[in-house]
Structure 1
Amino acid sequence: MRFPALVFLLLLCRFYSPFSDATDTIKPGESISGQRTIFSAGGEYELGFFSPGSSKGYYVGIWYRKISVRTIVWVANREYPPFSSSSYLTINNEGNLVVVDGRMSITVTSISISSPVNTSTATATLLDSGNLILKDENSHILWQSFDYPSHTLLPGMRLGHNVKTGHKWSLTSWRGTTDPGPGDYSVELDPENWRQFSIFRGSQRLVMDLNGQIRQFSWLEDTQQWNLFWSQPRPQCDVKSLCGPFGSCNEQAMATCQCLQGFKPVSSEDRNLRTYNSGGCVRQSPLRCETSNPEMLEEDRFLQMDNVVRFPENNQSSAVGSADKCRSFCLNNCSCNAYTYISGLCFVWYGNLSNLQQLPEGQSAEQILYLRLSASELPQPRGKKILLGASIAGGVAVVVLLFSFYFCCQWRRRLKGKEGQTGQNLLLFNFDSSFATIGEHRDESNFRASESKDVELPLFSFSSVSVATDGFSAANKLGEGGFGPVYKGKLLKGQEIAVKRLSRRSGQGLEELKNETMLIAKLQHRNLVRLLGCCIEGEEKILIYEYMPNKSLDVFLFDPNKCEVLDWGKRARVIEGTAQGLLYLHHYSRLRIIHRDLKASNILLDSGMNPKISDFGMARIFGENKSVENTNRIVGTYGYMSPEYATEGLFSIKSDVFSFGVLMLEILSGKKNTGFYNSDSLNLLGYAWELWRSERGLELIDPMLGNPPSMSLSLRYINVALLCVQETAADRPTMSDVVLMLSNELVALPSPKQPANSTARSLTVVNSDASRPGICSINNVTVSMIEGR
């Protein structure tokens, strides 16, 4: 009995025999299973079974064979993985590739034969292009994997649509990091515009990523890692409907996607919408019009959302006459979930709200959205803004008007009669009208800004500031910049302050003070210094800030006796915090701000060594519809200026990115940018580039740090810094890109190009414009020069 059974097993094994030798082809009667694979003739690609991460399923996939990191580029059975390790891949009698799991057979291919062929002789071959082809005995291709891309587009693959056959070539993301099943996102030819490709949700090596981004990678042999060459869309919140219905996207928050106020995730397991296949959010409490007994509930109300960066899509507009009528129009339609009123037009949203983007809590934007909620869902804590009925609002307006008139009179009397009070007065900057005059000094009457918003700022008397600083004593002097000296002070209530006093000899003046006061009073971010008030009396022009006990970054960074305080963790925190502050200025603040003078001495440190960007005297408001502006007034600091700004007066958000890159290299190395570091390098940029190019990048790291916690992380930081200081502005990343690259180690980095101003030759270019002599300052002092237009 044993002998016939053994013969039977031997025959069976021969019929479905794994390969004894490596080959690129599966022939009739052959199979692959377990660790058995085939690979292309040149050894470029390999095909076999894989089980990603903690997944219990077994998938047939193709990956790069010569690359140390297994990178899957194609998956055969994405939707139906077997759960048995004894599953095998073979060719059945119909000529199709099938995955067999016990008695179940999963068809991988579905060949369409227009003329009779002998499918029993079909073979499957893996080519060096990564294409798996199924062909008959006459080498006619019956099927090929390139016609069915999964999440990766290899050279030779196509994206598009066959009008005759209806076949569509598209990419679809994975369902999760360990689940190759079809995910939520796909990139395909837009059915409404066949001249462009679009990324949809639900319906070299390009990868359709889990978060809805399409990315192009190239493999770097020297670093043994994938290099991100290109990606779109770059900000994650630009991915269409990333957070699902009634979800809000916020790139600065810990969780990018969150449910709107009054809503909860569709799935109880989907907290903060962190899963990639999120179904979005649903109401926690139904609207009054949706219930069977509406008389039992209060009328629905609207939550005023001040921090909207991007409105939801698919709005409808109409001219209804007023904001009150717009509100009523939405309230009287049960399908209306939100509205806003802009320039005489009423915009309403029906059904699901999707693609909404917000700023973090506590920050404001120019756009306001009124979200419809059940009365029970309205937030009650003080400070939340609830849109009430017109009758209540009218009554409140009358009361506010009376109190405003009373306090205005009291304020004017107090200002004329008392100069010793500290911080009791409010200086109201109304940006629609002229600046309110103070006393007899009317030279400030043109203090304006480009935005129709009011900023209330405490007004300090000169006598109170003098008392707080002990008469501006030398013992209280913290330092001095281009604006003038800065003193430490203490208010009557014990609060410590930093007092910035405009020097009469300063190259800066009232214009810079007005600029800094207007900008910083309107900016609210944890990585920006906070302005507490100002003093304008006679020729005295003073700004009062929160006090930073650890002064500025340069005090520690460039002092051999203090630099040890800045360990790796603190330096990383300074880098990341400064990046977040710049990202807010460029992208999330009510005004789009270009700082133009970012440097170590303008990064202040609080008691926890957390960074705060300061000195906005040189900052400029940047138009939303502009990518670059030109000025004849070159301001800033030598060593931190981008080349296009120093030589041509062109500035943009990429100018700040350049300065940030210089600052980042200084933090990593503990060296100033200016000065020679070896015979071939003009400055720190050139020195860093030479080390990077010769694969000695770690030598740049400050020796005082000892061994960094991670060599790969150190090299990553240097890579990001070098990307920021590239010669051409277009090559530099945005601060959104920088924050992403710093915070996510899984994001592959592009290879940097040679930095600007890194050689003696580039120095000649910077100083070649004879019409702009002396436009730069030394490393720790900012000056400006005004030239005729």
Structure 2
Amino acid sequence: MPQRHSKNNNDLAFFTYDEKRKLGYGTQKERLGRDSIKPFDACSLCLKPFIDPLCCQKGHVFCKECILECLLAQKKDIQRENSWFFLSFLLICFSLNTHLSIGADTISAGQSLSGNQTIISDGGNFVLGFFTPGKSQNHYIGIWYNKVSVRTIVWVANRDRPLSDPSSSELKIMDGNLILLNQSKFPIWSTNLTSATLNSIKAALLDTGNLVLRDGPNSSTLVSESLDHPTHTCLPGGKLGLDKRTNKTQRLTSWRSEEDPAPGFFSLELDPSGTNQYLILWNGSENYWTSGVWNGQIFSLVPEMRLNYIYNFSYINNENESYFTYSVYNTSILSRFIMELSGQVKQLSWLEKPQQWNLFWAQPRKQCEVHALCGAFSRCNERALPFCEFGSSEGCELACLNNCSCTAYAYGSNGCSIWVEDLLNLQQFSDDKSDGNDLYNRLAASEISSSKKGTATCVGTVAGAVALLGFLLVLIWGWQRRRPVGTSKAVEDSLVPFGYRDLQSATKNFSEKLGGGGFGSVFKGTLPDSTVIAVKKL
């Protein structure tokens, strides 16, 4: 059955006139009244008979006065819209907390840096501002590359005094110095100048990554340079050495961790004994690696420096200072020389296409290049495991004493053998056999009598002697397992042995990692007497 078109309508196959009218179908015609038609001699604006008529290109007629009033009204509307647009633009700028000034590379008296404000060097290579390393909640003032996709920090001002709220902290010129104020407006870092002229100091970030202070707005005299106070990175043009006039050392110090730029365990500096070589020191005192002496072109133990098609290395030694510096032949190449927290010094350059840092050279390259790795009376062999080989019984004994897990050692024609677990399946050779070696058991210092006594006479059967020896070994093993951390007496008046479980307990199962590299990881630990230690796990 056909459907009806609508309620109370018919079910015809076509629309009726009444239905078309209700739907607005087709052309609609209506009769217009006289009031809806503009007279021919009326103005198109005021709809009144025109006065001083003017006609436009489309044939519309207007009063001259109406046209002028309309133009003036449109002008006022445009000015009103522009003023609101300008105010809106200012509000957006302030709400986004934009840069100190677009393209600015300086901080003058009366200006300050806070929050996410930054200044950019004139050529756009470097940025100065607040940053947060990794997932840390601390904030620091630092310099990083502007054109490198991976944020790479090259200098940190307050590396051991972090900030918790950068928005209320300020970096500003005060009393002739560049000073960093924390949220309580207390200075936590300063350039510490004493001879600068007040109110004339101006800070500028150069395109070399050097943050400088100038004495006067247009002066070329530099009263302070960040390149003279490097942290863990040396940029081209920077110096590492000794100022003989002030006895100040310029050194590189590694970060404490990836998220903590505080001074770490490794530092690179000129040999304090006066030789023209550089040392990597662990904890500020232990010699870790040496560069070898400068031979006029390179440091003798860094042969990669001969490939100087990118870099120009120099070592300067005169009556005022001794220092190492370098530059790049192509100034468009971004390069850095860093002291890594792993204990290696590295020379890197930035590659644009893969967008990554390229390693030019690193030292120490191998495990055996670490200073005194195997101790005295020994040699290091990269092709053997373990790395250390001992050339005498004294060296073998020292290796056992330096290993907390060593229980016994033997030295013979096959070299040095060390046992780190229980002694099992020992055999006593007869007197006519000469292919055996003497075995030396390691005992606690408390079990070694200081006075000389006569040789005791052994009485008993072979079975009784074996049983007694086994009983003593069980007692020694059980005593060492129950021995608390740090209570062992010194061996050879210098060494204190610690068991693996002792170190595992002191480091909380090696949970707090301080750093790492190709030779193992370093973990933080605490002894029962609250002494803080660093443990390397190979």
TM-score, scaled relative to structure 1: 0.32
Greater strand content: 2
TM-score, scaled relative to structure 2: 0.46
Greater helix content: 1
